[in-house]
């Protein structure tokens, strides 16, 4: 699979550039930071794991979400430390 560079966005005057407001930018686009590390729950609302990585396809759609199970999280060291 080859990676294609996204199209160059149109030029925006400096005062109108996107600014991050936490998990969202001013256009309402959601940052992946809102998902990474987020808890995953089952139908009984029990925590069953955490989101570790998100893979996108060539069009930018979510293809795969990688999770660490709560059981393995309790016994395994955090790889980000």
What predicted TM-score, i.e. pTM, was given to this entire model?
0.54
The answer to whether residue 28 is domain-embedded is: no
In a domain, 22, yes or no: no
Contact yes or no for 52/68 (Cβ under 8 A)? yes
Kindly state whether residue 62 falls inside one of the protein's structural domains: yes
In a domain, 52, yes or no: yes
Q: What is the pLDDT of residue 70?
A: 82
Q: Which pLDDT does position 26 carry in this prediction?
A: 76
User: What's the longest Cα–Cα distance across the chain?
Assistant: 51
pLDDT at 50: 94
Q: Look at 3 and 65; give whichever has higher pLDDT.
A: 65
- Summarize pLDDT for 1-46 with one digit per residue, the tens: 556 665 665 565 555 555 555 677 777 777 878 889 999 999 999 9
Asked if the structure places residue 16 within a domain, the reply is: no
Query: Quick check: is 51 in a domain?
Result: yes
Domains: count for the chain: 1
Tell me the residue range of the domain where 58 lies.
36-69
Q: How much is the pLDDT for 67?
A: 93
Paired tokens of 71: 């059981």
């Amino acid at each position: 699979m080859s990676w294609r560079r996204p199209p160059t966005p149109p030029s925006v005057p400096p005062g109108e550039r996107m600014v991050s407001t936490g998990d969202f930018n001013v256009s309402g686009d959601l940052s992946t930071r809102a998902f990474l590390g987020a808890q995953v729950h089952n139908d009984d609302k029990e925590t069953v794991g955490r989101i570790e990585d998100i893979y996108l396809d060539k069009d930018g759609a979510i293809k795969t979400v990688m999770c660490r199970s709560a059981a393995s999280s309790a016994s395994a060291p955090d790889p980000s430390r």
